[in-house]
Amino acid sequence: MPENLTHLANKYGSDKGTKVGNRHNYTAFYSAFFEQWATDTFTMLEIGLQRGDTATYRDPGRPVDDVPSVRLWLDYFPQAQCWGFDLSDFSNIAIPRFHFRRGDLSNPADLAQLATDMPPARFIIDDGSHASYHQQSALLHLFTAVEPGGLYFIEDLDWQPGYESELPKCRKTRDVFGDFITSGDLDIPFASPSQCRSVEGSINNIFFLRANSDAPELGRIKMVCIQKRR
């Protein structure tokens, strides 16, 4: 049996667990999907490699010293290759089976190059800037890189950075997928109709993780998992 994901997140200092930072406990959600693949050989990608506030994310020269989530995944999946994508430079962090690509989520060419360089991914996790434009642009460029039957996760849909208003105007990502459930249409106005049709035609299923508390935002979507057709 694979090691407990929450234990590993806490061990390596990832806020996907229950003890660090915002203590999202996303590992409980991930476990439902990932345990079946614990001993498989595959490629995965994580966008956004180290916690930080809005200001530090926008600074490509910010100091970086670790990749907590990468360590979590490499421990849990001992046969997997983990790719990482970030605006800042993590190339000095040398870990077996970790492959880093530096790029900007605002730059479609960087995303297209990543999709070209990387082998097909069993799953992709977007834990990057959390800006809706970045999340949707990444999905449009990278969903093609997910292998048939694979998964694409977008975290923290209940929070967007203040500088989101400075990016190209778009809908909140949580609203895009909330509406998709009922309409079957991927409504991303800044994308071309052909881009939207290509992605929505490849979607097999959608899974949501919703807020679970007595706060007013009870039921708000915190994370989406998009399953690709086989």
Q: Determine which helix (DSSP H) or strand (DSSP E) holds 5, and give its type and residue range.
A: helix 5-12
**What is the Rg, in whole angstroms, of the alpha carbon atoms belonging to the chain?**
17
Given 3-state DSSP classes, what are the helix, strand and coil percentages for the chain, each rounded to the nearest 5?
Answer: 35, 20, 45
130 assigned to active site: yes
Alpha helices in the chain (DSSP H): 5-12, 26-34, 54-57, 68-76, 108-117, 132-142, 173-183, 193-202
The Cα 145–Cα 118 span in angstroms is: 8
Q: Which residues contact 171 (CB under 8 A, 6 or more apart)?
A: 132, 187, 188, 189
The Cα 154–Cα 187 span in angstroms is: 16
How many residues in the chain?
Answer: 230
Q: Which residues contact 4 (CB under 8 A, 6 or more apart)?
A: 31
94 is written with which tokens? Answer: 């040398």
Judge whether 51 and 9 are in contact, CB under 8 Å. Answer: no
CB atoms within 10 A of CB 69: 26
Q: Which of 24, 99, 130, 134 is an active site residue?
A: 130
Catalytically active residues are 130
